[in-house]
């Protein structure tokens, strides 16, 4: 055998791609076929302004000049984790005690990525727990 089996690569076969994750988030945020809307209420004077480092669509509101993106105001905003990793963590945490324990997720994901800080992963797990409490994630 020439190559090695990397478990994280196998997970990519079973879990959605980044584009599929982003499409899922877009539908959650704006609704199916829904209009992009600024927090100022503007819907018409919104222009696309490239992508974020995570690949999310960025927008600028021409009415109030604000910048925002498809992740703004969601649990996926302000995290150093990749979108696919966040979906994987939500899946495991959402297994409601039958999934991996937080310390297992932390060691697994920090091994597979360049993320050095356990805080990034634990912060996201805490965000998931709060979203479950608010009824925004149904387990
Ligand atoms: Zn605006």
Residue-wise pLDDT for 44-80, tens only, equals 999 999 999 999 999 999 999 999 999 999 999 998 8
- pLDDT value for 60: 98
| Ligand 1 centroid to residue 58 C-alpha, Å | 13
| Ligand 1 centroid to residue 70 C-alpha, Å | 14
Domain extents for the chain? Answer: 5-138
Tell me the C-alpha to C-alpha distance, in Å, between residue 21 and each of 24, 85, 119, 133, 137. 5, 10, 23, 22, 15
- pLDDT value for 109: 78
Global pTM reads: 0.83
- pLDDT value for 2: 87
Read off the pLDDT of each residue in 26-44 and give the average, rounded to a whole number.
94
| Ligand 1 centroid to residue 45 C-alpha, Å | 8
């Amino acid at each position: 055998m020439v190559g090695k089996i990397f478990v994280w690569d196998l997970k990519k076969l079973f879990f959605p791609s980044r584009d599929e994750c982003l499409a899922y988030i877009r539908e959650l945020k704006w609704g199916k076929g829904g209009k992009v809307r600024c927090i100022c209420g503007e819907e018409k004077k919104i222009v696309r302004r490239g992508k974020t480092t995570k690949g999310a669509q960025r927008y600028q509101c021409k009415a109030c000049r604000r910048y925002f993106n498809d992740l703004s105001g969601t649990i996926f905003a302000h995290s150093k984790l990749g979108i696919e990793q966040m979906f994987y963590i939500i899946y495991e945490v959402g297994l409601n005690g039958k999934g991996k324990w937080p310390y297992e997720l932390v060691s697994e994901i920090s091994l597979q990525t360049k993320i050095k800080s356990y805080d990034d992963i634990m912060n996201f797990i805490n965000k998931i727990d709060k979203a479950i409490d608010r009824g925004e994630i149904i387990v």
